[in-house]
Amino acid sequence: MSGLDQKNLFEEVKRHRYSALIDGVFMGVGFVFIVLGIMLPIILSDQVINGLLTIIGGILAAVIGGTMEVYHWARLH
């Protein structure tokens, strides 16, 4: 493998590693919001609406992260 091919491969891996980090952050934040949305009404009974909105936001963040991950894997293959 020539030096130029290795450099291009290194840049490709570096770019995908950054994309995977962003996807993981979105999915992690989504799961944290989902758990927070479930726990909020249990701890404070008057926070049901805020809990539901937090769950919806968490689902959206997790879906965005999952969709981005699938898109990046599809681009790799």
Q: Give the pLDDT confidence of 46-60 residue by residue, as tens digits.
A: 999 999 999 999 999
Alpha helices by DSSP H, listed for the chain, are 3-43, 48-76
Q: What is the Cα–Cα distance from 36 to 27, expressed in whole angstroms?
A: 14
Question: Is the pLDDT score of 4 beyond 70?
Answer: no
Q: Which residue shows structure tokens 């290194």?
A: 10
Enter the pTM of the model: 0.76
pLDDT, residue 16, reads: 77
End-to-end CA, the chain? 21
| Sign for the pseudo-dihedral over CA of 43, 47, 53, 56 | positive
pLDDT, residue 3, reads: 60
pLDDT, residue 2, reads: 59
pLDDT band at 29 (very low <50, low <70, confident <90, very high): very high
